[in-house]
Structure 1
């Protein structure tokens, strides 16, 4: 199966970029009201509707939710791409709808999505509220879980550009986790099902983004929703959509999330998760914090009256200004930075750093500077 072609055929072109709000997706959801596939299942802190989308009549029940963190929108886009596949009338769509019943919450945290924040409107991280259930969004997620009684859960997130695959110098474009169900991080029958499925997804993705798949840390935290659902005996998969080269809008990454979803359901429908693939799962390298967005090497800097050669790095801060998302690069560290990488790297070869501020790459300063007054950088990038 050509997953690339399948994505191109089903991509939802009305949503793109990183700033995806309820206003972005409501027209798509309302298309399906007439079929009774879409329902309003509750409200956010600020009274915004929280929608569910249900499709299929198969015995195997799949529960998916996205944008639990409002500023993590890549998987929301991929989820709508997948919904398009379910509605395209193809043989694959018919096979999936006969095998599965899909229940998804495309945007659990619409308030956070509009504000472009991780937390909800009460500044609560919903992924730390699975036990206390203090927030309306958390209560909706848990009540739906209890009522729907899924066979598998898909917990869909984004991760920052700082993550790489171990120390390989490759970005973690996608990372997965079969969450632990206890402090000892043991593997029981339920967790093994998630492990086996992730190993299968990894086999597929390695053909498209070799070496760019990571494994998320499995430290147990019962306050996290994935750990809670795994503890309750339902195989749960954490998806973390990460960085692909020059893809800050995460349009390439959404494709790989779509491929992951399709692959997982094909594997399950073909009952191809019966063996023990724990070794293959553990062979997926762990996520590691090894990246900055910009790295400048061998830069000459005046430091306390002395000229030294050093390195410094800058990182994008995603800032919502007038309902438009801006990527603003700020200097974050100066030093040897051994073992770290930049998504963009520049070797200054001893050129002198200068700027319009203090002529020193100061932490928290916008990354506007020049080298020997010959190469000029604006917002981290070379000015053309």
Structure 2
């Protein structure tokens, strides 16, 4: 598939940009949807915000996808809106998908968390650790939709932090995927095998855009996670993790690649194109590691004698919601030699050019004094 043919610049939903996506913003978009989309309010969140599902397509393959079950993970929500624009574009590939598949999309499962930009819901519960107990209304809604819709595939859509790199390389994990385990032994069941093949197919084509920036997420089994639960129930499930792209903290570039990945997933399911891939293709995708800082400052003792000779500073941004926008506040996370770590920005205090740039940073006074 040629990504140029998708004409992303015209498909992208430009009414919603940046990291903060609220229920109010989403509702404006959803209210514009007409045929072929069918919008249904499934129920209410803890704080009585509506949770919508959107159904489109008439095909035999039923695909359920949900986004923003963690309220501060909005990139895949933006990509889902782009996907719906694509499905409404009457392009050949979109029509083919809609003829062969029926999609049920929940663009925002946790609207209360989205409102205040937190991972958890209004009761401080992580919905992705509530699959077994089903204590929260949002968790119960998702489970009800799953049981009523009886999907052939599930796509579980998330964001991941900037700390993740691919393998042990200095490349950020811009997109990561997981075929969740369904037991502690991580058995490759028939369901999981289908998930692995689908991930292998996505990776094969997406690599042409972001070569070396696709990772495989950790597959440790957790019975409380939704993806693991649905996989154990026999439904092939794929976890999507939207990660960092160079200089893209608003994740508008990442959004595009997640959109591409969603189209690839639907195209392969509709055509059974992933049947040619194997579990080996899946395991050949390098596993994620956590070797990135947002800012890495080398030889910090050159600017502050309180640090030891070879000390480096690893700085991570804290994401803070203020006046409807996410602000990235730097915080020193680790001090030490930090060998084997990378920085999305790196400064060597022994380099005069780096030092000049470092002095222009808002956190300079904090590290120099």
Normalised to the residue count of structure 1, the TM-score between the two structures is 0.90
Q: Deviations over 1:252-272 (max 9, x none)?
A: 000000100111111222222
Query: Counterpart of 2:361?
Result: 377
Deviation by residue 1:2-36 (Cα, 9 ceiling, x = unmatched)? 31451223110101100001111111111126766
**Any idea what the Cα deviations from partners look like across 1:88-123, whole Å, max 9, x if unmatched?**
122222111100000010000000000100000000
Deviation for aligned residue 1:376: 3.2
The 8 Å contact of residues 198 and 237 in structure 1, kept in 2 or not, is answered as: yes
In the other structure, the counterpart of 2:267 is 266
- The answer to whether 1:29 aligns with 2:38 is no
Q: Show the 5 A alignment for 1:236-315.
A: 236-275=237-276, 277-299=278-300, 300-303=302-305, 308-315=309-316
Residue 160 of structure 1 and its aligned partner are, at CA, apart by: 0.2
- Tell me, in whole angstroms, the C-alpha distance in 1 between the residues paired with 2:264 and 2:108: 22
Residue 274 (structure 1) shift: 2.2
1:166 equivalent to 2:150? Answer: no
SS of 1:378 mapped into structure 2: coil
Q: Name 2:228's counterpart in structure 1.
A: 227
Please state whether the residue corresponding to 1:254 is helix, strand or coil: helix
Distance 1:379 1:303 in 2: 17
Q: CA distance change for structure 1 residues 149 and 307 in 2, over 3 Å: closer, same or farther?
A: closer
The Cα offsets for residues 342-362 of structure 1, whole Å up to 9 and x where unpaired, read as 0001111177xxxxxxxxxxx
Cα-to-partner distance string for 1:284-303 (whole Å, 9 max, x where unaligned) = 00010000000111231554
* Cα 1:36/1:249, change in 2 over 3 Å: closer
Name the CA distance, whole Å, in 2 between partners of 1:222 and 1:134. 15
Q: Aligned in 2, Cα 1:91/1:343: closer, same or farther, shift over 3 Å?
A: same
Matching residue of 2:114: 113
Number of aligned residues: 362
Q: Provide the rounded CA distance (Å) in 2 between the counterparts of 1:36 and 1:173.
A: 30
* Alignment gaps of 5+ in structure 1: 352-369
Paired with 2:37 and 2:287, the residues of 1 have a C-alpha distance of: 42
- Higher Cα radius of gyration: 1
Deviation at 1:273, TM superposition (A): 2.4
Structure 2 residue 5 is matched with structure 1 residue 2: no
Deviation at 1:320, TM superposition (A): 1.0
CA contact (8 A) 1:192 1:276 kept: no
* Structure 2 residues without counterparts, runs of 5 or longer: none
Moved over 4 A (4+): 33-36, 301-304, 370-374
Larger helix percent: 2
| Aligned match of 1:67 | 68
Partner secondary structure for residue 111 of structure 1:
helix
In the alignment, what sits opposite 2:157? 156
